[in-house]
Amino acid sequence: MIETSTTPLDGKCPTGPIETRWARHKEHLQLVGPTNRRKYNVIVVGTGLAGASAAATLGEQGYRVTAITYHDSPRRAHSVAAQGGINAAKNYQNDGDSVHRLFYDTVKGGDYRARESNVHRLAEVSANIIDQATAQGVPFAREYGGTLENRTFGGVLVSRTFYARGQTGQQLLYGAYQSLMRQVDKKSVNLLTMKDVLDIIVVDGHARGVVVRDLKTGKLDAITADAVLLCTGGYSNAFYLSTNAMKCNVTATWRAHKRGAFFANPCYTQIHPTCIPEHGESQSKLTLMSESLRNDGRVWVPRKGKDTRAPGAIPAAERYYYLEERYPTFGNMVPRDVASRNAKYVCDDGLGVGQTGRAVFLDFKDAIERLGKEEIARRYGNLFDMYEKIAGENPYQTPMKIYPAPHYTMGGLWVDYDLMSNLPGLFVLGEANFSDHGANRLGASALMQGLADGYFVIPYTLAPYLAKYGNKGGVAADHAEVRGALEGVAQKTEKLMSIKGERTVESFHKELGNVMLDKCGMSRTEAGLNEAIAKIRALRSEFWENVRILPDKDATLNVELEKAHRVADFLEFSELMCVDARERNESCGGHFREEYQTDDGEAKRDDENYAYAAAWEFNGVGADPTLHKEPLTFEFVKLTQRSYK
Ligand SMILES: Cc1cc2nc3c(=O)[nH]c(=O)nc-3n(C[C@H](O)[C@H](O)[C@H](O)COP(=O)(O)OP(=O)(O)OC[C@H]3O[C@@H](n4cnc5c(N)ncnc54)[C@H](O)[C@@H]3O)c2cc1C
């Protein structure tokens, strides 16, 4: 039986006209003077777009920052993989865009499960991000006349996505990285690479540090500070196969959760519609084909099942352009949750293509005829090359085959408007927090949010906390909480090494992923979620009795041990995902409960009972968590049945 707190959780959002909330809030935030900033130590975990931008900006402001990553270089953060683009309400196309429209599209796109105040702030600062990145030299695509070019992404009717071919994340990350390295050079940022954060140190109810394991030597260290920022990315790898880098994980946020930070909306995950389909048992990673391709590619399947003709030999009348037919207004540019579900439906109906029947075509023939091959190559050349290398087919000649895959997680640690979790001193940025996307994220909005948090929000909202609670004499290295956290990680590591069972870490991860994809993936049912919880518990017990880690040494580079820590956390966290999905008796965005759908198969929300963010409190592994509800109120966007028809 889930216990629900009767005290509503307060996001501490400003009130009054939405257009001026952020400006008024900033005006009243307490400041730390320039000469005092060097007295404060701040830990930033993660050097992706959110972490690198935060560390660089706080370093520039004069704080003493320690930036930590488990990679050998900040440039390897998963943000480097982002392809399609970054949104901003610049209205360069003069096509009707505005801050309000970006705000509206994002609230609607998230199926009315995000906070209005946060989303409006995001839309406001979006324009600053483009200016910042351009000033850093990020090579955004340009029109012939030199102005920045835009394209459209799903769920919107304007072109507001800035891009650098199919390498937008990489180019933005290099911009943030060079700013970060400038601060490293100036010694305001101490960069620690190859360090895995395995616990959060909490002293007197405040986050005051982290425990890190050196990945090359196995040595454990405690690093203390006045505040900790987690910028550790998303948890899509709970599904094992995903478009995320294989190292992406939930460890830092989950261990913070076990220290008291609430985890919000863990069941809100995004299954991206345009990925290269799974093609074998031994695959460990899936590849995204950017959503930008849907600007020019048309999605279809043969009208008749098991049609073995070459796609080019199937006449137009025998093709089912199912998105264009079902959603005439948005067509192929419907949001991701809608596109993914529809791909599943047509494949469930036996219309899927390819060897497994779990794929649909993404066809560029018409666009090539209309625009020419060169223009298509200019827009998507590197994506086409990548597809050909992986799939062995030339997409200029044959339609791509695509299928949905786990990609992004809207859930994350709960934060208030200032990006602070309920654990004082612990701030959470980027994909690691739950803040801005509700139940479904629109394409090109993750890069926007990570950089908004790092460049433009935290530099303001951290100061009041530091001014009030920071620099209280620091935390001594032999403080009981520091020693306790170090010992806890050492014991867990020893336990993992000592099991010496029969199964590989990978095999547990894969089995868990299969359960999650099947029961907590694109669609969910109460019975399926109960089944998943039972399976996860059994698998978790077996893991702690039967996992084998080779090499069997801790004091060396041991990739299996790294993975074992992460998979141990996924085995606990996945249960919370299922509990959250079971508790939310409605469908919204990426959370599709089969019991709650409209007659034509769309997500059916229940605003009366579920217009809240679900923030979970940890009560022990396998014990029922406590549910805290943050009510969501909509003053500026009218709640309606989301329609893209
Ligand atoms: C293939 C792909 C394409 C995408 N394309 C787009 C796009 O076109 N537009 C868009 O808006 N979004 C896109 N996204 C989403 C977007 O890339 C991510 O949401 C975003 O980059 C996340 O940034 P981040 O800084 O929050 O986290 P990340 O970039 O994931 O960085 C996490 C950082 O945390 C560190 N870290 C994590 N755990 C620990 C730990 N325990 N100890 C130490 N360090 C740790 C890592 O080393 C890393 O530095 C895409 C995602 C994928 C998978």
Domain final position from 348, 375, 405: 405
Ligand 1 contact, 454 CB (< 6 A)? no
505: CATH: 1.20.58.100
Q: Which atom of ligand 1 is nearest to the CA of 87?
A: 11
Does any domain span residue 319?
Answer: yes
Does any domain span residue 462?
Answer: no
| Nearest CA, atom 39, ligand 1 | 232
Q: How many structural domains are present in the chain? A: 2
- Each residue's pLDDT tens digit, 351-393: 999 989 999 999 999 999 999 999 999 889 989 999 999 999 9
Question: How far does the centroid of ligand 1 lie from the alpha carbon of residue 250, in Å?
Answer: 12
- How far are the Cα atoms of 234, 294, 322 from residue 364, in angstroms, in the given order? 32, 9, 16
Which positions ≥6 away from 596 have C-beta within 8 Å? 585, 586, 587, 603, 604, 606
Distance CA(412)–CA(598), nearest Å, equals: 28
Does any domain span residue 75?
Answer: no
Query: What pTM value is reported for the model?
Result: 0.96
Does any domain span residue 168?
Answer: no
- Structure token digits, residue 82: 């982002």
Does any domain span residue 586?
Answer: yes
**516/606 same-domain check:** yes
Ligand 1 contact, 51 CB (< 6 A)? yes
To 10 degrees, what angle do helices 49-61 and 168-185 make? 30
Distance CA(423)–CA(443), nearest Å, equals: 30
pLDDT surpasses 90 at 1: no
Stretch 482-498: mean pLDDT, rounded?
A: 98
Domain final position from 373, 405, 437: 405
**498/396 same-domain check:** no
Q: Residue 478 CB: number of other CB atoms within 10 A?
A: 8
| Nearest CA, atom 44, ligand 1 | 69
Does any domain span residue 264?
Answer: no
Ligand 1 contact, 265 CB (< 6 A)? no
Stretch 91-111: mean pLDDT, rounded?
A: 96
Ligand 1 contact, 343 CB (< 6 A)? no
- Structure token digits, residue 522: 């694109």
Q: Which residue out of 294, 336, 566, 584 is catalytically annotated?
A: 336
- Each residue's pLDDT tens digit, 382-433: 899 999 999 999 999 999 999 999 999 999 999 999 999 999 999 999 999 9
Q: Strand pairing partners for 196?
A: 213
385: CATH: 3.90.700.10
DSSP state of 641: -
Ligand 1 contact, 122 CB (< 6 A)? no
| Nearest CA, atom 50, ligand 1 | 82
Please indicate whether residue 378 is annotated as part of the active site.
no
Ligand 1 contact, 333 CB (< 6 A)? no
- How far are the Cα atoms of 248, 400, 402, 408, 444 from residue 277, in angstroms, in the given order? 20, 10, 6, 17, 22
- Each residue's pLDDT tens digit, 262-286: 999 999 999 999 999 988 778 888 9
Q: Which atom of ligand 1 is nearest to the CA of 292?
A: 8
pLDDT surpasses 80 at 473: no
Q: Which atom of ligand 1 is nearest to the CA of 407?
A: 53
Distance CA(68)–CA(395), nearest Å, equals: 40
| Nearest CA, atom 33, ligand 1 | 46
Does any domain span residue 245?
Answer: no
Ligand 1 contact, 166 CB (< 6 A)? no
Segments forming the whole domain that contains residue 507: 486-631
pLDDT of res. 572: 98
**495/381 same-domain check:** no
Does any domain span residue 411?
Answer: no
Confidence of residue 166 (pLDDT cuts 50, 70, 90): confident
| Nearest CA, atom 51, ligand 1 | 82
